[in-house]
Amino acid sequence: MVIIVSLFSFVLEFLINYFFHGTKFVGLIIFSSLILLEPYFKNDSRNFFIFCFLLGFIYDFAYTGFYFMNAGLFLLIGFIVSYINRITPNNLIVSILELLFMIVFYRFLSFSFLCLNGVIVADMGVFFRSIYSSIIVSLFYGLVLYFVLYLLSLRFNIRRIN
């Protein structure tokens, strides 16, 4: 199920970036799936961290061209998500708050990295637009994905960590 959701998220992110390029609809769909798939790793943090790194590397390869930037950022986000999920309950409200926090954190780190390396000019307007556009798309996708994963878990008796 993890592979299917990840592939679907990659395809959906490609379609959104292709058709809505230059608009307010720029999302971190694969990032949303990364956060919402963590409970399905059945207390296997090592495999989750490997999954985060590989997902970030594939994301780098497919979208950014900065090899290992997103791989490292996704791994860092994976550590934080894993920690948050250990100390909080796994429910819709916590997942939404976690998604919002992680989007802002990811955008801040990636924006800082790109500015420090001279790839982009530090423009706070661009930074805030990237945050709210990511939140709009990712939150909508995250809500839909949360309920789909929840229903699939019930239907096929797939164990989630709570």
Report the distance separating Cα 71 and Cα 88, nearest Å.
Answer: 25
- With a cut of 70, say whether residue 162 has pLDDT above it: no
> What's the half-sphere exposure (Cβ side, CA atoms, 13 Å) at 132?
7
* pLDDT tens string 122-159: 788 878 888 888 888 888 899 999 999 888 888 877 76
Nearest partner of 69 among 32, 119, 29, judged by Cα: 119
Residue 22, pLDDT score: 62
Torsion over CA of 21, 23, 25 and 28, rounded to 10 degrees? 50
Predicted confidence band at 115 (pLDDT cuts at 50, 70, 90)?
A: confident
Cβ-contact 106, 73 below 8 angstroms? yes
User: Is it the case that residue 4 has pLDDT exceeding 80?
Assistant: yes
